[in-house]
Structure 1
């Protein structure tokens, strides 16, 4: 967990805190690319603020204005301005190559140490000026096809008794679940009081581990695909902010991250 500066004047707190660092795929770039011979320094970040909304409307014949139907968000673009330095030409090229290697991967977690939140991002491009020295300032442009800002990862411990939970965030969130069976069971169900339900028909045994992924509709049992077990009466559901009741046929851990835009 990152530590943040205490901004309350006169608090007397001496808690250490991290400056603005870039963390991609669980690697802190500022730390991994900094040593006695050179460094990577995050200078500024843009694109983490409020996203514009595309409001879908229909014209009203004979009336003023239009009727709002719904709105959607654009793809999010996050730009990181950084400084890269090294004592030698060879060291600079090697440090730059290491940076490139650390940015490989699609839809990886992108985080910054001044905020407890993360994005799912892919590097789109990097703007690098003329490499006429071993001290340059450049930019990295990340694309988030899922534009959500994710915060406060939560685990709901769902039992066979109906329980009420408060779903945080501002927008509906996807979820994953994990169930470890402690006794044989011929089916599994996970249900909400709002009509959502996932029902599986399969002969589960003691020790089986069941994993469900809402976003991809994937079902795995002990790491192997079990989509064949999904019942026709299944009604997939997102987690809408607010109160929701859950019940499962076996104790289940449901995980999600609060969503903001």
Structure 2
């Protein structure tokens, strides 16, 4: 785990980290690539601000202007400017190779220690100047095909009694759930007050752990794919900002993160 840095001057709080570190796939690059022989230092980050909106419009014959229909967001591009140093040529190459290895994978969590938020990102490119020294400044360009900024991860404890919850954020958000059965049950239901419902037909037993992922439509029981148990009546649902009432046929923990753009 790492701590988010306090960036407010005079707050009186201290942190062992610099004010801005880059964390990719759970690894703090500034910490992992820094030792007595050299370092990785995050200098600046761009691309985390408000995204422009592509407003879809229809021209109105014989009228001024146009009719606004809806808007969408572009892919988000986040650029990290960094400094990499080492005492020796050999050490510099090794440190650079370690950096490359830590940036593998697609749609991994990208976070920065000056903000309690994360993006799902893939490294697209790295702009590195000519390596004529062991002290360079370069850039890493990450692409977020899902441009959302995710914040304030929440867990809702859904019971067999209908309860109202307030969903935060700007836009609808996906969710995952986990149900640990404490008694046999021949089916499972997770429902909202606006028509959303997940219905599974399966003979669950005491100790079974059911996991559902809205975004991928995966349904796993004790790690085994049981998507065949999904009933035809199922109506998959996202969580929309605002009030929603939910209940389940067995106590369930539902997890989500608030979405911002």
TM-score tier after normalising by the smaller chain length:
over 0.9
Aligned to 1:241: 241
5+ long unaligned stretches in structure 1: none
Aligned to 1:29: 29
Q: Does 1:125 align with 2:125?
A: yes
TM-score by length of 1: 0.96
Alpha-carbon distance between aligned partners in 1 of 2:86 and 2:140, rounded to the nearest angstrom: 19
Aligned to 2:186: 186
Quote how far apart the aligned CAs of 1:95 are.
Answer: 0.5
After TM superposition, the structure 1 = structure 2 runs for residues 136-175 of structure 1, keeping only pairs within 5 Å, are 136-175=136-175
Aligned to 1:195: 195
5+ long unaligned stretches in structure 2: none
Indicate conservation of the 8 Å contact 2:158/2:254, yes or no.
yes
Indicate conservation of the 8 Å contact 2:5/2:20, yes or no.
no
**CA RMSD in angstroms, aligned pairs only:** 1.2
Indicate conservation of the 8 Å contact 1:3/1:17, yes or no.
no
1:126-148: CA deviation from partner (whole Å, max 9, x where unpaired): 00000000000000000001110
Aligned to 1:226: 226
Q: Which runs of 4+ in 1 moved over 6 A?
A: none
TM-score by length of 2: 0.96
Aligned to 1:254: 254
Change (3 A) 1:101 1:8: closer
Alpha-carbon distance between aligned partners in 2 of 1:96 and 1:121, rounded to the nearest angstrom: 20
Alpha-carbon distance between aligned partners in 1 of 2:8 and 2:177, rounded to the nearest angstrom: 38
Q: Does 1:49 align with 2:55?
A: no
Alpha-carbon distance between aligned partners in 1 of 2:36 and 2:16, rounded to the nearest angstrom: 22
Quote how far apart the aligned CAs of 1:55 are.
Answer: 0.9
Aligned to 1:4: 5
